[in-house]
Amino acid sequence: MHSLLSRISTIVRTKVTLSLLRAGFAVGSRLAPESTIRRAGRLFCTPFASTRTRARTAPSLGAREAQLDVDGLRLTTYAWGDPHAQPYVLFAHGWSSHGTRIAPWVGPLQAAGYAVVAFDQAAHGKSDGRQTTLPDFACHLLAVGRHFGPAAAVVGHSLGGAASAIALANGLQAERAVLIAPPADPLVMAEQFAGMIGMARHLSRRMFARFERSMRFAAEDLQAQHLVPTIARPALIVHDLEDREVPWAEGERYARFWGESRLLSTRGLGHNRVVDSERVIDAALRFLRGEAVGDRVVSSPNLPYGFA
């Protein structure tokens, strides 16, 4: 009973906090748009504090932990097996997640002869930092890949999937890629974030424009339809039809524009359980063996984001 009451109390507090947050951003959008944009930008780049707790309490399954210095930040890495002597799979976690999220994959991958490497992104898990962005995710993934050397495959979930595509387009050495529930458009992400916190949606574009100016990149460079046509290696895109966080159509967009990719659609797994699915892990292993998994999606200029 105490546990049930505690969960109910937490849910109530969360709803009250979110309601107050939304009210504050709604008022700020009208009365003080510039300061509201700055506040939203800070929040947009700050992972949930729970990522630290989950990383500390998650089982590491005997991983060798190490610290890797990247841009003045210490990133915590995890290795199972010997990535310098075995073909290895590099894992990129999603927003407010952590490296040992790959735990369900470790046993099957090792049984198939692979070592496994994961890491906590900046401001996540056991790594340094308080804020981070999608371009940071990609840069840090590139740094980890350079440290461990060419990988047999990179597996990325959610924002880690988007970061994997960006990293591959910018030199990450991996023979194959498995992207699970990857968001396809950072501008859409910003709009969804604005809607969640109650900020006027038109301000989300101005917020993102600040990131573009400060980090010297264009949003178009991070959109799947512009990014993945340059990646010349096989990919398996996995996306659940009932994903409420990143719609299935975004994974389909990757598959449409990635020349050597196939799309595996699941149902009933949502955005997070899809990573733990034995069916998905088995499909990924078959893909790594060179088998044809999923469906080939053909692009059409008349239907840029739909079925052809």
| Per-residue pLDDT at 44 | 86
pLDDT digits (tens, 9 = 90+) for 54-98: 888 888 889 999 999 998 999 999 999 999 999 999 999 999 999
Token pair 């099957």 is found at 108
Token pair 């890491």 is found at 119
Q: For residues 37 and 238, which has the higher predicted lDDT (pLDDT)?
A: 238
Domains within the chain, CATH numbers bracketed = 50-185+218-288 (3.40.50.1820)
pLDDT of 107 over the 90 cut:
yes
| Per-residue pLDDT at 239 | 97
Q: Which residues contact 252 (CB under 8 A, 6 or more apart)?
A: 237, 239, 263, 297, 305, 306, 307
> How many residues make up the chain in this entry?
308
Q: Which residues pair with 261 in a beta bridge?
A: 235
Q: Do the beta carbons of residue 166 and residue 218 sit within 8 Å?
A: no
**Apex 94 CA angle, 92 and 100, nearest 5:** 60
Residue 307 binned pLDDT confidence (cut-offs 50, 70, 90): very low
Residue 134 binned pLDDT confidence (cut-offs 50, 70, 90): very high
pLDDT of 10 over the 90 cut:
no
- Amino acid (1-letter code) at residue 173: Q
| Per-residue pLDDT at 17 | 66
Rounded CA gap, 45 and 136, in Å? Answer: 10
Q: What percent of the chain has pLDDT over 90?
A: 64
The pTM (predicted TM-score) of the whole model is 0.88
pLDDT of 184 over the 80 cut:
yes
Q: What percent of the chain has pLDDT over 70?
A: 91
Residue 208 binned pLDDT confidence (cut-offs 50, 70, 90): confident
| Per-residue pLDDT at 8 | 30
pLDDT of 4 over the 60 cut:
no
